[in-house]
């Protein structure tokens, strides 16, 4: 099997997508942060000292997705068409599930942008609540689905 990010001498390289035709692409990623009931209540009641936690996490997710190529070495800078972030309350955990959907018309996929968006959003929640709960856990960060490109569609089996 040939690895696309290595040249013939096993040196890292960025894949050349110059000859590829642009296609519509979409990726959905999600992740969960679990926390104490006290931290969860601070979010729900909007009493966290650092401000509106979920709104800030959504903005951070968008910024993270847009900056993916700056922090992951082999990712191409992309002109993203859309980024959508959804936060689900998980009161029984307690915690939150963050889902990020990224779309573009381009020559390479947006899976890394969706995964980065989720990661940055969840880290933002952690940062804003760490004074209340240092034992929060970020987990289950994963690609849920992707559409477009040469490899076709993928949908996670539950």
7, 45, 92, 127: the active-site residue:
127
- H-only helix segments in the chain: 37-44, 53-66, 68-71, 111-129
Domains and CATH numbers, the chain: 23-148 (3.30.70.640)
Rounded to the nearest 10 degrees, the angle between the axes of helix 53-66 and helix 37-44 is: 90
Q: How far apart are CA 131 and CA 50, in angstroms?
A: 10
Q: Does 127 participate in catalysis according to the annotation? A: yes
CA atoms within 13 A on the CB side of 2: 6
Question: What is the value of pTM for the model shown?
Answer: 0.90
Q: What is the dihedral of CA 48, 123, 158, 35, to 10 degrees?
A: -40
pLDDT tens, 17-33? 767 778 899 999 999 99
In the prediction, which pLDDT does 11 show?
77
pLDDT tens, 75-113? 999 999 999 999 999 999 999 999 999 999 988 889 999
Q: How far apart are CA 38 and CA 19, in angstroms?
A: 53
pLDDT tens, 124-147? 999 999 999 999 999 999 999 999
Q: Is a pLDDT exceeding 70 seen at residue 1?
A: no
Secondary structure class of 74 (helix, strand, coil) = coil
């Amino acid at each position: 099997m040939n690895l696309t990010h290595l040249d013939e001498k096993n040196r890292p390289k960025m894949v050349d997508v110059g000859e590829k035709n642009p296609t519509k692409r979409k990726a959905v990623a999600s992740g969960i942060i679990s926390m104490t009931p006290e931290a969860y209540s601070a979010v729900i009641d909007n009493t966290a000292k650092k401000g509106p936690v979920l709104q800030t996490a959504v903005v951070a997710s968008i910024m993270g997705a847009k900056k993916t190529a700056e922090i992951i070495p082999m990712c191409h800078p992309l002109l993203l068409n859309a980024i959508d972030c959804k936060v689900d309350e998980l009161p029984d955990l307690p915690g939150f599930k963050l889902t990020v959907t990224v779309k573009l018309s381009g020559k390479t996929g947006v899976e890394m942008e969706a995964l980065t968006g989720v990661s940055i959003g969840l880290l933002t929640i952690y940062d804003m609540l760490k004074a209340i709960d240092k034992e929060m856990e970020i987990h289950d960060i994963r690609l849920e689905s992707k559409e477009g490109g040469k490899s076709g569609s993928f949908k996670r089996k539950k």
